Structure 1
C-alpha cells in the first residue's frame, strides 16, 4: 500500500478535517497529517499548539501520524516520508478550483506524486477554520464543529483574550 500526506495549517483542526483524515486513513498504509505554514494566514494557535491538538484528536488512530513541517514544500515532505500521494479535502467548487491549481504545481514539481481529493459530508461543507475563528472571536459556540480538545483550546484562547481586555 501507499503512504500519503494530508498537509494543512489546521488552525484549528475541524470536524471536516477529521472526517477527511479518518476516511483517508482507511485508504492508505500510513497517513501523515502535516502541520504546515500558509504565509497568507494569520494564526490563532502556534505551530506547537496546532501539533498538540491534532495529536490529541488522532491519538487512537495508529495509521495517522501528526508531524510539523512549517518551512518545507509539500512535495519535499512527501519525498522525505516516502509518500506517494497528497490527500486534500473538498467542501465545495471553490475548494476544487483552489486544490486543482495546487495539484498542478505539485505535479509540475513531481510528476509521480498524485493528489487525492476527498469530499466532506454535505453537512460539514460550510465548516472552515477561518469561520471557526471568526465565530469564536465574537463569542459564538463552535463545540459541534470541532473536536472536543479543540473546543476546549478555543474556549481557553477566548477566555485569555477577554481577560486581556479587562
Structure 2
C-alpha cells in the first residue's frame, strides 16, 4: 500500500523551512501532495499559479534525489476533505515554535473529529530554519532587506520582480 502524505500551506512564498520539511517527509511517505491553499483572506502576494509553479520548480530536485513522488494540488475546501480527495493517510505539518503547536493542536482535534482515519504528523523545522515565516520574508523583502538566507535564489528573484526592488 502506498503511503500518501499531504503537506498544506499557502506557500506565499515557499521558504527554505518548507523545503526542509518536504525533504524530511521523504522518509515517511512514498508520495507527497503539496496542498496549496487558496486563502483569499490572507491576500497572497503571489497568485495561485505563481505559487504552484514555484513549488513545482523547487520540489523537482527533491523528488529526483529522494525518489519520493511530489505533486502540487491547489485547494479551497476543508483540509480534511482535501486529504480525502488526494488519498492521503497523513497530514504533515511543520512546526517552528510553541505558538505553532498550540494552533496545530486545535486543528488536529477538529480534523480527528471529522475523520479519525487520517493522522497528523508534526516535523520540527531544523534549527537554522525555525525563525523563517513567509509573512516575515515578505516584510523583509518589501523593506529592501536581504531574504537570501530564508528562500531559494529563484524565490529571491521572484520577490524582487514582484515588489519592484
Same fold (TM over 0.5): yes
The one of 57, 65, 73 equivalent to 1:68 is 73
Q: Does 1:3 align with 2:18?
A: no
Q: Does 1:77 align with 2:78?
A: no
2:163 alignment partner in structure 1 = 158
Are the counterparts in 2 of residues 54 and 66 from structure 1 also a CA contact under 8 Å?
A: no
Are the counterparts in 1 of residues 33 and 73 from structure 2 also a CA contact under 8 Å?
A: no
Change (3 A) 1:15 1:137: same
1:43 alignment partner in structure 2 = 44
- Deviation of residue 139 (structure 1)? 0.6
Unaligned runs of 5+ in 2: none
Q: Once the two structures are superposed, what CA deviation does each residue of 1:85-139 show, in whole Å capped at 9, x if it has no partner? A: 0000000100011111111111111011110000011221110000001001111
Question: 1 CA distance for matches of 2:27 and 2:155?
Answer: 23
Unaligned runs of 5+ in 1: none
The one of 90, 93, 99 equivalent to 2:98 is 93
Q: Compute the RMSD of aligned alpha carbons.
A: 1.4
Are the counterparts in 2 of residues 11 and 44 from structure 1 also a CA contact under 8 Å?
A: yes
State the number of aligned residues: 160
